[in-house]
Amino acid sequence: MFFASDNWAGVHPDISTNLSRHAAGIATAYGDGDLDRAVYRRFSEIFERDVQVFFVATGTAANALSMSALNRIGGVAFCHSEAHMNVDEFGASGFYTGGARMSPVPGPLGRMNPKALDQAIDRYSRDLVPAGQPMAVTITQATEVGTVYTVDDVKAIAEISRRHGLPLHMDGARFANAIAATGVTPAEMTWKSGVDIISFGATKNGCWMADAVVILNPDVAKDLRLLRQRAGQTFSKARFISAQFEAYFTDGLWLRMAGHANAMAARLAETIEDAPAGRLAWLPQANEVFAILDHAKAEKLQAAGAKFYEWGVPQGFEGHLGDNEAIYRFVASFATTQQEIDQLGHLIG
Amino acid sequence: MFFASDNWAGVHPDISTNLSRHAAGIATAYGDGDLDRAVYRRFSEIFERDVQVFFVATGTAANALSMSALNRIGGVAFCHSEAHMNVDEFGASGFYTGGARMSPVPGPLGRMNPKALDQAIDRYSRDLVPAGQPMAVTITQATEVGTVYTVDDVKAIAEISRRHGLPLHMDGARFANAIAATGVTPAEMTWKSGVDIISFGATKNGCWMADAVVILNPDVAKDLRLLRQRAGQTFSKARFISAQFEAYFTDGLWLRMAGHANAMAARLAETIEDAPAGRLAWLPQANEVFAILDHAKAEKLQAAGAKFYEWGVPQGFEGHLGDNEAIYRFVASFATTQQEIDQLGHLIG
Amino acid sequence: MFFASDNWAGVHPDISTNLSRHAAGIATAYGDGDLDRAVYRRFSEIFERDVQVFFVATGTAANALSMSALNRIGGVAFCHSEAHMNVDEFGASGFYTGGARMSPVPGPLGRMNPKALDQAIDRYSRDLVPAGQPMAVTITQATEVGTVYTVDDVKAIAEISRRHGLPLHMDGARFANAIAATGVTPAEMTWKSGVDIISFGATKNGCWMADAVVILNPDVAKDLRLLRQRAGQTFSKARFISAQFEAYFTDGLWLRMAGHANAMAARLAETIEDAPAGRLAWLPQANEVFAILDHAKAEKLQAAGAKFYEWGVPQGFEGHLGDNEAIYRFVASFATTQQEIDQLGHLIG
Amino acid sequence: MFFASDNWAGVHPDISTNLSRHAAGIATAYGDGDLDRAVYRRFSEIFERDVQVFFVATGTAANALSMSALNRIGGVAFCHSEAHMNVDEFGASGFYTGGARMSPVPGPLGRMNPKALDQAIDRYSRDLVPAGQPMAVTITQATEVGTVYTVDDVKAIAEISRRHGLPLHMDGARFANAIAATGVTPAEMTWKSGVDIISFGATKNGCWMADAVVILNPDVAKDLRLLRQRAGQTFSKARFISAQFEAYFTDGLWLRMAGHANAMAARLAETIEDAPAGRLAWLPQANEVFAILDHAKAEKLQAAGAKFYEWGVPQGFEGHLGDNEAIYRFVASFATTQQEIDQLGHLIG
């Protein structure tokens, strides 16, 4: 019963096998080998556009390096107030940018409110230098609380960003889950809707270390190769990241894995709704389920071996929490089984 | 005939197999799983001391994060003037430290001259704040030009560092080659000789991405965990780096691979010495061979498919270079074959 | 009718005269001369404790260097959401600290709510590294909106800071005004109430460039001298800053100037209250008056030569703003005259 | 007998008087007042071109902010190996740039050798990213050791800089002394010879705090206003820096002061040459004299009240130092008197 995080899961066999397949052989280093180039082209096919791909160490590094590529002096980036970049990345973006700031924007259930975004940017638009220079807007897809921006949601954010002359970044640590959930193409979800640059995460979705910054609009971020070099993240044997992505994109593996995780989350949600002792905090849209449990019940589940964490109360939560209750997060992954869900359902009772 | 760099090589089958073995299964993330802990203990056994191990993205990141852990305000680190950190890492250490500087120290064939080090540090010891604060000494083992510090060499550097109150860092991107070449233990080569912290590289020696900072003396670098977090290099599925190291240290694989690379380099050196058209620039001590060739010969070899690069003339070079000659570097790896060497020897003629 | 800012004013004649008096003569540079040392001792007398004094370029530099002296990796400082440091210093603190963040805390009329502070810090206290490391609390005295923390207010903030192990910084750009307004001693207002370090501003209060960081508790900030050196703010002819402070502290000039500015603000407030067309947004406590005017009236005043700016609506504002109304800020200084106030009152009508 | 440094001197009476004259009155803050604008225009007249002027805190800040305006990712600036920026500014440039490096270039007596500069830049021109990106060349005029670049010297450096596409910065902490010494115009010495940006120092030459970055070529440094803002050096009462420069440039005061300092240095040099116990280390060209004395003699002078410091042996020194001898620096300023020189000459004997 592993629901602690999708990064507790291992590696899909197809990816593991492909890594082994490429183990021998000798190739040009630093991401300039044949396999690397093939994978970059594959990204361009996936996104239906010539994109630039930069492998980086982690999702946090992808976000922080994206911000450093969009950086301005006295820079201010606008993100949801509960965004991973704002509350869970130890100030990495501030470090990589030499002090750029995150301006938190409210919005219900992990999604930035477009009007609130507009107002937040407006505060910097009065030609008052000391306040700071707006530099970027960033949204998380799927969000931290398991919800998903629709294409129209993304377009609404992009429209405001564009009006203020700001590039739009997407933190896609769970991008595959959002694509699988909505059924739209990666192109529609991103550059066709106004997204300029994306942190493309595959680690949580069945790879073992595969994160990239993908530049969709070459006008917004020119120096990423150099910024990554200075950050010590130009991998010598980059082809083993390429090998993961090669398998990831073969026969739609990435969407099959994400689809499985989403489906498992949906079943888990049903199971919790059906259980007398549990109820959902809100409806899941991707691979994360947030349930309200009383503390005693949660402890009993954990004592029985279920892995999951308590979560804070997000903005826009409209439910009711009893005195002895809290919100708990359950994450499904490509490796989650029906059996684990049944077992948990049985225990919730 | 791949002699361009040891990071063009692939992955040793034992390491690849071990990665596959750990592909399935679910484990605690962020380096706190059972396998991770077992590998940390293995490092302590290898070094015969309780050490702290921090996986990082690359060798450059290992060096830069080491420097940031040793950082002082207005800090100055002392390195060989041809050290990778000084001339080949795009200022990563300066970036990670917020501006600490490398003070280059001369010395023949890649090895810092102890007396020159002493003088270089002395320039900062006169209580003159504006000059800067000495913060660390760093040496590369094996060096950039294929030579090796003996234990006595390391002790001489360490003695001067200690006298000035400075921690001693070792850039061990090719540490295994130095251990295999000298036959001393890792403990003798490091903390028993005064080394406090090491960038422990395994990527060039048959892993695919396995770099770590290893703190040997816990007094000198307390905040590495937090510095790494802020740098976005806390890997969620760290156990796949652990899996590489697990195999790396099993049955002495690491020293067998390094020993093979060194032996291949020695044979390559003999082959070059025996060839009428070639001569060694200096004697190799690890897995890199530097040969003097005339340009026409070098181009002929490259045209025939041999991969290798021209190199600059290092300090302390006592040989003679003709007008049409240059120094070329040939690197052997765990995957280098006798056949490649024979083929090259045949071509040099 | 100059009410735009107290930094539009010039220099008090006593300070100007003292600068001239010290113009000739030759002295040790970099803040180590006799006059410098005498002024440092004078600060210790003013604060009734051995303090350390560091002259810096501006109030923003004082705040940013204070933060860099209190900095932690992944650091988070807690300030009022409308604090100058948060919204008006172009990210200087983030730059000087390599990315430390400001966590905004709400509170009515410029003063941080102690309970909200406690909750804000608590969010970082759960041993969750990725969130960040709390590093400091900072309050502004007098506040951005002309209110003042009482000694009890300061103690309440300090008690929470201490409980969380955090040093307390005071942004004292208008410290003199707060002291003049409350009548308590500088010692009572600061270290006796738990303040560890203060940005001590005199520029707005009749000096021309006299800002200092004063360390009241030597345990909290050890490296300020070096941080300032690296920031290029170690003034060679520091004695001309000392000369300003020498006069500033002679015969209570600093409190006489601040007292005058406060008194002028009080009269201005009365004048506005008495005027049919004006009303106060809230009661002024120091040298800044915030009035509600309709736009037409404000423009008429400005057309008549009155200098003042529109201001945003602060947290905790309980008044009512009509459709055509806004809040305007009027700042009095040591140089403000009764005549200017009468003239403005006449115009408001 | 004050020869320790020109920054031990006080303020010229004309400058002091002008400060007093501007003490009263109220003006727009942050460098946008009438006096500020007049002084900016005066700079343009002095340089015979529309220049941009940015007041900063110190000469070190001027250099570091100049470097940050010319900064590139992985940036490398080329300076003389004994340049103030390289050895005497506590790494300020590295801090302001987020890690850009100084690449030291040799040359006799403080002046960069053009051929050595060319070679130093060439090392970075081979399309090898990891080495770093050349970003600027910087020269010091007058140099650290009292020598002066001729216009032809500057042009030779500028020609190489231009060929490599690099902007040329001048550290003009003693620019007035160089102008007074050579008799060429500021325009000839700078932009007409290829200098793009200058740290214009007046503090050492009779002001008390008057340093500016002056951009001569607007193409090379666009963001200085914002970089300065983020560095906390946008002075609110900037007009008191303007007041110093107003007097500084009136009736050629600046060149009269520098000319006096140079003349005093020349006489001091004669006095030392004439003394049996002293000899010059090399011929002075501006306001600094370097003499060879034996230690006993130097101590005797210091015991008699003469202020001066021992200096290291610079590159290109062709004289001879006896066992008991060292090089000592004597600096003359606008305030140095013939009497002081006579007194020193008498003591040297």
Average pLDDT of chain D is 95
Q: What count of other Cβ atoms lies within 10 Å of the Cβ of residue A307?
A: 17
* DSSP E strands, B19-126: 52-56, 75-80, 101-105
Measured between alpha carbons, how far is C169 from B331 in angstroms, rounded to an integer? Answer: 56
User: For A226-276, how does the pLDDT look when each residue is reduced to its tens digit (9 = 90+)?
Assistant: 999 999 999 999 999 999 999 999 999 999 999 999 999 999 999 999 988
- Enclosing H/E stretch for C279: strand C279-280
Mean pLDDT of the region D123-143: 88
Quick one: pLDDT band at residue A70, thresholds 50, 70, 90? very high
* pLDDT above 90 for C269: yes
How far is CA D174 from its chain centroid?
A: 4
Asked if A93 contacts A64 with a C-beta cutoff of 8 angstroms, the reply is yes
Q: Residue type at D264?
A: M
Q: Find the chain B residues whose C-beta atoms sit closer than 8 A to any C-beta of C.
A: 73-74, 98-99, 129-130, 133, 223, 225-227, 229-230
Mean pLDDT of the region A213-233: 95
Q: How far does the CA of residue C76 sit from the closest CA of chain A (Å)?
A: 9
- What is residue D111's predicted lDDT score, i.e. its pLDDT? 97
Q: Closest to D91 (Cβ–Cβ): which among B87, B88, B100?
A: B100
- What is residue D51's predicted lDDT score, i.e. its pLDDT? 98
Mean pLDDT of the region C250-278: 95
Asked if B238 contacts B36 with a C-beta cutoff of 8 angstroms, the reply is yes
Chain A CB contacts of B233 below 8 Å = 57-58, 61
Q: How far does the CA of residue A210 sit from the closest CA of chain B (Å)?
A: 10
Q: Of A255-259, B277-281, B327-331, where does mean pLDDT reach its minimum?
A: B277-281
User: For D261-309, how does the pLDDT look when each residue is reduced to its tens digit (9 = 90+)?
Assistant: 999 999 999 999 998 888 999 999 999 999 999 999 999 999 999 999 9
Q: Does a cis peptide bond (omega within 30 degrees of 0) precede residue B29?
A: no
* pLDDT above 90 for A95: yes
User: For D213-234, how does the pLDDT look when each residue is reduced to its tens digit (9 = 90+)?
Assistant: 999 999 998 899 999 999 999 9
Asked if A94 contacts A100 with a C-beta cutoff of 8 angstroms, the reply is yes
Q: Find the chain A residues whose C-beta atoms sit closer than 8 A to any C-beta of C.
A: 73-76, 87-102, 129-132
Nearest chain D residue to B89 by CA distance is D130
Quick one: pLDDT band at residue A130, thresholds 50, 70, 90? confident
Chain B CB contacts of A230 below 8 Å = 90-92, 95
Give me the phi and psi of C78, to 5 degrees please. -110, 125
Where do we find the tokens 């050629």?
D252
User: For B93-140, how does the pLDDT look when each residue is reduced to its tens digit (9 = 90+)?
Assistant: 999 999 999 999 999 999 999 999 999 999 887 566 788 999 999 999
Tell me if A96 and B237 make a contact (CB, 8 A cut-off).
no
User: What is the spatial order of strands in the sheet that C168-172 belongs to?
Assistant: C52-56, C211-215, C197-201, C168-172, C133-140, C75-80, C101-105
Q: Closest to A132 (Cβ–Cβ): which among C73, C90, C98?
A: C90
Token code pair at residue D244: 């110093």
- What is residue A126's predicted lDDT score, i.e. its pLDDT? 59
DSSP of A240-293: HHHHHHHHHTGGGHHHHHHHHHHHHHHHHHHHHHHSTT-EESS--SSSEEEEEE
Q: Residue type at D117?
A: L
Give me the phi and psi of C267, to 5 degrees please. -65, -40
Q: What proportion of chain A, given as a percentage, has pLDDT over 70?
A: 99
Higher pLDDT, A112 or A131: A112
Chain C CB contacts of A97 below 8 Å = 99
pTM strictly above 0.95: yes
Tell me if A129 and D73 make a contact (CB, 8 A cut-off).
no
Q: Which letter, b or e, does each residue of B124-153 get, where b requires 16 or more Cβ atoms within 10 Å of its Cβ? A: beeeebbbbbbbbbbbbbbbbbbbbbbeeb
Asked if D159 contacts D191 with a C-beta cutoff of 8 angstroms, the reply is no
Q: Which chains touch C (3 or more CB pairs under 8 A)?
A: A, B, D
Chain C CB contacts of A329 below 8 Å = none
Q: Residue type at D283?
A: L
Measured between alpha carbons, how far is A268 from A126 in angstroms, rounded to an integer? Answer: 49
* pLDDT above 70 for D127: no
Q: Residue type at B19?
A: L
On the 0-12 / 13-18 / 19+ scale of CB atoms within 10 A, A290 is buried
Q: How far does the CA of residue C32 sit from the closest CA of chain B (Å)?
A: 14
Q: Which of D31, D85, D23 is nearest to D56 (CA)?
A: D31
Asked if C102 contacts C86 with a C-beta cutoff of 8 angstroms, the reply is yes
Is A177 strand, coil or helix? helix
Measured between alpha carbons, how far is A16 from A193 in angstroms, rounded to an integer? Answer: 34
Q: Residue type at C83?
A: A
* pLDDT above 70 for D148: yes
Nearest chain B residue to A89 by CA distance is B230
Token code pair at residue C41: 């001792």
Chain A CB contacts of D130 below 8 Å = 229
- What is residue B129's predicted lDDT score, i.e. its pLDDT? 74
Q: How far does the CA of residue B87 sit from the closest CA of chain D (Å)?
A: 5
* pLDDT above 70 for A20: yes
- What is residue B126's predicted lDDT score, i.e. its pLDDT? 59
Q: What proportion of chain D, given as a percentage, has pLDDT over 90?
A: 91
Quick one: pLDDT band at residue B254, thresholds 50, 70, 90? very high
Q: Find the chain B residues whose C-beta atoms sit closer than 8 A to any C-beta of D.
A: 73-76, 87-102, 129-132
* pLDDT above 70 for C126: no
In chain B, what are the helix, strand and coil shares in percent, each to the nearest 5?
45, 15, 40
Where do we find the tokens 């937040």?
A120
Tell me if B94 and D96 make a contact (CB, 8 A cut-off).
no
Q: Closest to D23 (Cβ–Cβ): which among C11, C56, C90?
A: C11
Measured between alpha carbons, how far is C109 from D277 in angstroms, rounded to an integer? Answer: 73
User: For B38-93, how does the pLDDT look when each residue is reduced to its tens digit (9 = 90+)?
Assistant: 999 999 999 999 999 999 999 999 999 999 999 999 999 999 999 999 999 999 99
Asked if A179 contacts A154 with a C-beta cutoff of 8 angstroms, the reply is no
* pLDDT above 80 for D126: no
- What is residue C128's predicted lDDT score, i.e. its pLDDT? 67
User: For A146-185, how does the pLDDT look when each residue is reduced to its tens digit (9 = 90+)?
Assistant: 999 999 999 999 999 999 999 999 999 999 999 999 999 9
* pLDDT above 80 for B306: yes
Which residue, among B230, B244, B264, B336, would best test binding to A if mutated, counting the most A CBs under 10 Å from its CB?
Answer: B230
Token code pair at residue C113: 């709510």
Chain D CB contacts of C96 below 8 Å = 232
Token code pair at residue B128: 């003159």
How far is CA A348 from its chain centroid?
A: 29
Average pLDDT of chain C is 95
Nearest chain A residue to C128 by CA distance is A88
Q: Of A115-124, A183-192, B124-133, D49-58, where does mean pLDDT reach its minimum?
A: B124-133
- What is residue B221's predicted lDDT score, i.e. its pLDDT? 87
Q: Residue type at C13?
A: P
User: What is the spatial order of strands in the sheet that D288-294 belongs to?
Assistant: D279-280, D288-294, D325-331, D309-311
Tell me if D57 and C335 make a contact (CB, 8 A cut-off).
no
Tell me if B11 and A230 make a contact (CB, 8 A cut-off).
no
Is C201 strand, coil or helix? strand
Q: Closest to C129 (Cβ–Cβ): which among B130, B133, B229?
A: B229
Q: Closest to A88 (Cβ–Cβ): which among C76, C92, C131?
A: C131
Average pLDDT of chain B is 95
- Enclosing H/E stretch for D213: strand D211-215
Q: What is the ipTM of this complex?
A: 0.96
Quick one: pLDDT band at residue D128, thresholds 50, 70, 90? low
User: For B191-239, how does the pLDDT look when each residue is reduced to its tens digit (9 = 90+)?
Assistant: 999 999 999 999 999 999 999 999 999 999 889 999 999 999 999 999 9
Q: Closest to D230 (Cβ–Cβ): which among A74, A225, A227?
A: A74
Half-sphere exposure of A13 (CA within 13 A, CB side): 0
How far is CA A179 from its chain centroid?
A: 11
Measured between alpha carbons, how far is C81 from B228 in angstroms, rounded to an integer? Answer: 30
Mean pLDDT of the region B266-286: 94
Q: Find the chain D residues whose C-beta atoms sit closer than 8 A to any C-beta of A.
A: 73-74, 98-99, 129-130, 133, 223, 225-227, 229-230
Asked if C215 contacts C221 with a C-beta cutoff of 8 angstroms, the reply is yes
- What is residue A16's predicted lDDT score, i.e. its pLDDT? 96
Token code pair at residue A88: 């869970």
Q: Does a cis peptide bond (omega within 30 degrees of 0) precede residue C142?
A: yes
Q: Which letter, b or e, does each residue of C160-183 get, where b requires 16 or more Cβ atoms within 10 Å of its Cβ? A: bbeebebbbbbbbbbbbbbbbbbe
> Please, where are the H alpha helices in B123-210?
151-163, 175-182, 186-189
Measured between alpha carbons, how far is C179 from D252 in angstroms, rounded to an integer? Answer: 46
CA distances from B82 to A30, B91, B279, D127 (A): 21, 14, 23, 18
- What is residue B276's predicted lDDT score, i.e. its pLDDT? 86
Chain D CB contacts of A133 below 8 Å = 226
